[in-house]
Structure 1
Amino acid sequence: MYRVSTQASFDAAHFLKDYPGKCHNLHGHRWKVVIEVSSPELDEGSMVIDFTDIKKELKKMADHFDHCLIIEEGSLKKETYEALVSEDFRIVTVNFRPTAECFAKYFFDQLSSSFPVNKVQVYETPNNVATYEV
């Protein structure tokens, strides 16, 4: 089996509503996303995949989350959300809990429809990584 990987990163803040620890508070990360693609055979160009193709799509996804506040749907009071928007904060709402584990599955699901992705790793910090793989 051949495996290749590429990565992208973004800076963003989040919080975990009703979490009983310090991650309940608003905080930020330098998120790093590593995508691994595999194939039992190489294509006609002797590659698993052209890195340019998957890097372009991964960068587009990472750029979507860069320098924003990521919130889970329904995790902020309407008044709080409106106040942040009125201050011109960029907010990206997701329909999942914004943990590294859920982001790993999110990136996997989004990219595997176009590429033979077998594993996604999401780092919240250089030492903390969550993995989703088939």
Structure 2
Amino acid sequence: MAHKVTVVHSFEAGHRLPHVDGKCVSLHGHSWSVAVTVSAPKLGPEVTVVEFGALKVGLRRWIDGHLDHATMLGACDRLVEPLVAEGSRVLRFGAERPEDVAEQLACGLPWPTVEAVAVLLGRVAESVMAGLPRADGARVEQVLVRETRLNTAVYEPTVPR
């Protein structure tokens, strides 16, 4: 038996995928939604999986501060420089020398596909949980990211052995 809690949030962001064929080579935006599920085999001393309020605040603050009304691009995308020069918020995926902590979490993810955004948000959830009271064995079990009503990616981090 496992106990689970899920935090749901949404944000508006643009991205483009010039490395794939099709319409996603053009800069475009989505109304993204994310659901992060944390599970634990047993409840902790506080009778919780994780301090739920703090998890919600941490995840939502990060998303609102780094992704909402921002543009997600690959670090090698030619649009990075002109958008930054115009004052747009840009989160670079796959940067070799990340300029900030947010971009460090996107290392190894060269393009902002919905799958990569799910991995990024899983890493964010893990970093938020690192400083929170939680049950023994509590971990990010699943991150579901929806970029449209019909298109969803699911990331399930592997359980460390």
TM-score by structure 2 length? 0.74
More strand, by proportion: 1
Aligned equivalent of 1:11: 12
- 8 A Cα contact 1:7 1:58, kept in partner: no
Secondary structure, counterpart of 2:8 in structure 1: strand
Is 1:105 aligned to residue 119 of structure 2?
yes
Mapped partners of 2:143, 2:22: distance in 1: 26
What are the superposed Cα offsets for residues 72-125 of structure 1, whole Å, 9 maximum, x if unpaired?
Answer: 10111xxx5443333322222121210111111111123224261111111101
Of residues 60, 63, 77, the one that matches 1:75 is 77
What are the superposed Cα offsets for residues 31-55 of structure 1, whole Å, 9 maximum, x if unpaired?
Answer: 1111000011111222212211211
The CA deviation at 1:18 is 2.9
**Residues matched between the structures, number:** 131
- 8 A Cα contact 1:31 1:125, kept in partner: yes
**Cα gap change, 1:5 to 1:72, in 2 (>3 Å):** same
**Cα gap change, 1:54 to 1:73, in 2 (>3 Å):** same
**Cα gap change, 1:81 to 1:98, in 2 (>3 Å):** closer
Mapped partners of 1:87, 1:110: distance in 2: 27
**Cα gap change, 1:86 to 1:110, in 2 (>3 Å):** closer
Gaps of 5+ in 2: 95-108, 131-137
Aligned equivalent of 2:145: 122
TM-score by structure 1 length? 0.88
Is 1:48 aligned to residue 71 of structure 2?
no
Q: CA RMSD in A?
A: 1.6
Gaps of 5+ in 1: none
What are the superposed Cα offsets for residues 15-69 of structure 1, whole Å, 9 maximum, x if unpaired?
Answer: 0013211111111011111100001111122221221121122112211111011
- Paired letter, 2:72: I
**Cα gap change, 1:106 to 1:86, in 2 (>3 Å):** closer
- 8 A Cα contact 2:14 2:70, kept in partner: yes
Task: Map 1:26-37 to 2 at 5 A.
Answer: 26-37=27-38
Is 1:61 aligned to residue 57 of structure 2?
no
